[in-house]
Amino acid sequence: MAKVCAITGKRSRVGGGYSNRTRATQFNPTGKRRRQVNLTTKKIFVPELNKTVVVTISTKGLKTIRKNGAYATLKKAGLI
């Protein structure tokens, strides 16, 4: 399964490092690395449906659910 947040659509990205040596010279030995998104698997109870939904979600997605409510957020994402 791909590492993608079900609510926000966040996924892993490739980013480069930046060494202190680069500031002195034009040589950048750090290369690239994959930055993983902060995902957790959560069981979320939806009172309107009286059932529990299991989603893989980022921490920002959790804050979105707390702000807008579980039913509205999951329905907008197409998970219900």
Residue 6 lies in a domain: no
Domain presence at residue 2:
no
**Residue span of the structural domain in which 70 resides:** 13-77
Instruction: Tell me if 55 is assigned to some domain.
Output: yes
pLDDT of residue 37: 92
Cα dihedral 68, 80, 59, 4 sign: negative
Residue 34 contacts residue 14 (beta carbons within 8 Å): yes
In a domain, 70, yes or no: yes
Beta carbons within 10 angstroms of residue 65's beta carbon: 19
Q: For 9-62, how does the pLDDT look when each residue is reduced to its tens digit (9 = 90+)?
A: 999 999 877 766 666 666 666 778 889 999 999 999 999 999 999 999 999 999
- What total of structural domains would you count in the chain? 1
Q: Evaluate whether residue 3 is within a structural domain.
A: no
**Domain of residue 27, CATH code:** 2.30.170.40
**pLDDT in the model for residue 28:** 63
Q: How far is CA 47 from the centre of its chain?
A: 24
Q: What is the DSSP letter of 6?
A: T
